[in-house]
Structure 1
Amino acid sequence: MYVDLGSALDATPGVSRDSLERLDDQVATAHDRIEAGRNDHDHGYAALNLPARVDLDAIRSAVAPFADAEAVLTVGIGGSGLGAATLANALAGPDDPDAYVLDNVDPEHVARLLDSLPLARTAVNVVSKSGTTVETLSNFLVVREAMADAGVDWTDRTLVTTGESGNLRQLADAHDLPLLSVPDGVPGRFSVLSSVGLAVAAIQGHDLDAICAGAADTADGLSGSLFETPAYAYGAATYALAARGATTNVMMPYAERLETFAEWFAQLWAESLGKDGLGQTPARALGATDQHSQLQLYRAGPREKVVTLLRPTHRPDRPIPETDLDGLSYLGGSTLGDLIDAEFGATEASLAASGVPAIRVEIDGVDERSLGALLYGMEAACVLYGELAGVSTFTQPAVEWGKRAARGLLGGGDVPAAEAVEDRASLRIDP
């Protein structure tokens, strides 16, 4: 992963080279805290040890029964699904099993998806660390029933990824299901480089060693200076820009296969850093598509954004055919790759010309090693940002409040949070 902060230096809001050099002392102190947390395998910091600690043989063994899969369905929500989806959508080739994630409980969507799947040839990976996540367990019960109705033995098609105790662990033990453990000390949004994110990649046949090697390269490169560590450069610069008013971070990959990565990033950034009135709101865009829908706002709207422009430097290409249409002859001899690179450059220049801060992030390609480096790099950047901001990066109290409220509304006990929902004010306007 490569990071270029040049377009953030003279922007409004912006961060100067001098201020970054002053901030670097704080980065060094934060790095020491991060390293101490990693050495002690403390909660949250343990995620940054995953490249060396993940048991790839256990993952390969657990997915071996699904070698015949034509589709793989992850039943999980948040970090239990987004990491797997990011890797699957970025890496899937035309001959790989199609990957789907059931992470919402919209009944119409669930029904349509299950009706479209070849259930007898679908591997189901149900993921919940606690084994009690209401959306995940509800969807899994529906999937299990759909398989039974289709004459499919669900126990032959199900992999469980969960914690050391709970309903899913008991279910797996009772039915002798293939089982993977969610690592201790790793919040779900930081779990992509563990069994949580890698099982689907394994079923699709991707190179797990290369994913972890890319992550390990980034881990080995962490140092106490933002000028030596791209991940820290990104985390420190976004922190500094947020402190100066850039409270929205637009993640804009210029590769269709990285669109789900922007979703993964949005959870990582929002759930980790949105505490105590602080944080940076992640927004998702896709280059070049959203140059035609959102760039107007970024360039001419409120000055509270930084735009992260992400692209691979190498990708498969396709030539643009010659044409005799008036005004289009200049396209002959160029390629779609040339065009999307020009679009990337135009967006970067457009933002710079209007004084909007942008950060360029580049990876070598959309492949296993580069994705491992990118995912680990953004996790490290997020942890550094949290250290600099003084927030509790690895907790999510607002999310837990919502979970309790939902359980209470469903009759899962006497929950005060549910009463707050029922007692809300209303101002209804009827036609």
Structure 2
Amino acid sequence: MYVDLGNILETTPGVTPDILDRLDSRVATAHDRIQTGMENEEHGYAALNLPETVDTDEIKTAVDRFDDPESIITVGIGGSALGAATIDAALSTPDHADTYYLDNVDPEAINALLETIDLEDTVVNVVSRSGTTAETLANFLVVQEAMADADVEWSDRTVVTTGDEGNLRDLADAHDLPVLRVPDGVPGRFSALSTVGLAVAALQGYDLDAIVEGAASEADKLSGSLYDSPAYAYGAATYALAERGALTNALMPYSEDLEYFAEWFAQLWAESLGKDGVGQTPARALGATDQHSQLQLYRAGPRDKVVTLVRPRNRRDRQIPETDLDGLSYLGGSSLGELLAAEFEATEASLAAAGRPNIRIEIDRVDERGIGELLYGMEAACIMYGELANVSTFTQPAVEWGKRAARGLLGGGEFEEAAAVADKRELLIE
């Protein structure tokens, strides 16, 4: 992974080389804390050990019984689905299985899927650390029923990823289902490089070892200086910009294969860093599409944003045919890849010319190694940001509040948070 900070120098908001130099001493201190957390396998920090601790053979063995399914349904929510979806979206080709992610409880969408998919040739990948996540278990029960109605033996088509205890673990034991264990100390949004994120990749036949090797290559770059670590450079720079008013981080990949990566990044950044009145709001865009929509705001709106531009350095290309159409002849003889590269560089220059901070992130190509580098690098960047901002990176109290409220409303126990729903104020306009 390569990170270019040139376009945050002397922008507004922005930093100077002297500011980065002074920040570098804090990065060294934060790195020491991160290293201690990794060595002691502390909660959250243990995620950065995954390139060494994940057992790819275990994952491959767990899915061996499923031979080239036509479809894969992952039932999970948040980090239990986004990592797998990001890897699969980056690597998928037409000859791979169709993948679906039941990460919401919208009955219209779920009914539409279950009415059209061939459940007999589908593998269900259900993921919940606790085995009690309401949305996940509800969707899984619905899928089970749909399989039974279609005369499909659900237990022959299901793999479970969960903790050592809980409803899913009991169910897996009772029906002799293949089970992958969620690793200790790894929050869901940091679990893409674990059993949680790699089961779908294994079902699709992707090279798990190359994904892990890509992650390991970024782990090897972690050091006490932001100038030696792309991940730390990004985490430190975005922290410094947020401190100076860049409270929105618009992530804009110039690759449709990485569009889901922006979804994954949004959870990682928001849930990890939005604490105690601080944090940076992630926004999602796609280059070049959103040059024709969101870029207007980023270049000419409030000076409260940093734009992160992401692209692979190498990709397949396609020539643009010659044309005699007036004003378009300049396109003939060039390629779509050259056009997209020009769009990327024009956006970058446009923002810089307006004094708007932007950061370039590149990988060599969107492949197994590249996606491993990107996922690990951004996780380490997020942890560095959290250390510098002095937030509790690995907790999510606001999320847990909402879970308790919803469970109370459904009769799942007495929770004071549920009572707050009745206190809602109304100003209804009809």
TM-score (structure 2 length as normaliser): 0.99
1:201 paired to 2:173: no
Q: 2: CA distance between counterparts of 1:66 and 1:297?
A: 48
Partner residue in 2 for 1:311: 311
- CA deviations on 1:165-206 (whole Å, 9 max, x unpaired) are 000000000000010000000000000000000000000010
Q: 1: CA distance between counterparts of 2:327 and 2:68?
A: 51
What secondary structure is seen at the aligned counterpart in 2 of 1:65? coil
The one-letter code matched in structure 2 to 1:360 is R
Q: 1: CA distance between counterparts of 2:113 and 2:391?
A: 39
Partner residue in 2 for 1:29: 29
1:179 paired to 2:179: yes
Alignment of 1:328-407 (within 5 A): 328-407=328-407
- CA deviations on 1:36-94 (whole Å, 9 max, x unpaired) are 00000000000000011001111001111112311111000000000000001100111
Indicate if the aligned counterparts of 2:81 and 2:197 stay in contact, CA closer than 8 A: yes
1:60 paired to 2:66: no
Q: 2: CA distance between counterparts of 1:234 and 1:303?
A: 19
Q: 1: CA distance between counterparts of 2:90 and 2:14?
A: 32
Partner residue in 1 for 2:249: 249
Q: CA RMSD in A?
A: 0.6
Q: 2: CA distance between counterparts of 1:71 and 1:286?
A: 27
Q: 2: CA distance between counterparts of 1:112 and 1:363?
A: 37
Partner residue in 1 for 2:285: 285
Partner residue in 2 for 1:188: 188
- CA deviations on 1:280-338 (whole Å, 9 max, x unpaired) are 00000000000001000101111100000000000000000111111111101000000
What secondary structure is seen at the aligned counterpart in 1 of 2:299? helix
What secondary structure is seen at the aligned counterpart in 1 of 2:311? strand
Gaps of 5+ in 1: none
Question: 1:380, CA displacement in angstroms?
Answer: 0.2
Question: 1:341, CA displacement in angstroms?
Answer: 0.3
1:416 paired to 2:416: yes
Partner residue in 1 for 2:214: 214
Alignment of 1:144-183 (within 5 A): 144-183=144-183
Q: 2: CA distance between counterparts of 1:426 and 1:418?
A: 17
What secondary structure is seen at the aligned counterpart in 2 of 1:308? strand
Question: 1:98, CA displacement in angstroms?
Answer: 1.3
Q: 2: CA distance between counterparts of 1:392 and 1:341?
A: 38
Q: How many residues are treated as equivalent by the alignment?
A: 430
Question: 1:136, CA displacement in angstroms?
Answer: 0.3
Question: 1:116, CA displacement in angstroms?
Answer: 2.3
Question: 1:132, CA displacement in angstroms?
Answer: 0.5
Q: 2: CA distance between counterparts of 1:7 and 1:387?
A: 24
What secondary structure is seen at the aligned counterpart in 2 of 1:223? coil
What secondary structure is seen at the aligned counterpart in 2 of 1:330? helix
Partner residue in 2 for 1:76: 76
Structure 1 runs (4+) greater than 3 angstroms displaced: none
What secondary structure is seen at the aligned counterpart in 2 of 1:186? coil
Q: 2: CA distance between counterparts of 1:221 and 1:352?
A: 28
Partner residue in 2 for 1:51: 51
Partner residue in 2 for 1:229: 229
Q: 2: CA distance between counterparts of 1:364 and 1:187?
A: 28
- CA deviations on 1:95-131 (whole Å, 9 max, x unpaired) are 1111111100000001111222211111100000000
The one-letter code matched in structure 1 to 2:140 is F
Q: 2: CA distance between counterparts of 1:23 and 1:333?
A: 47
Q: 2: CA distance between counterparts of 1:114 and 1:75?
A: 13
1:7 paired to 2:30: no
Partner residue in 1 for 2:240: 240
Q: Identity of paired residues, percent?
A: 73
Q: 1: CA distance between counterparts of 2:258 and 2:395?
A: 27
Question: 1:363, CA displacement in angstroms?
Answer: 0.5
Q: 2: CA distance between counterparts of 1:304 and 1:10?
A: 15
The one-letter code matched in structure 2 to 1:151 is D
The one-letter code matched in structure 2 to 1:330 is Y
Indicate if the aligned counterparts of 2:68 and 2:203 stay in contact, CA closer than 8 A: no
- CA deviations on 1:114-169 (whole Å, 9 max, x unpaired) are 22221111110000000000000000000011111111100010000000100000
The one-letter code matched in structure 2 to 1:44 is G
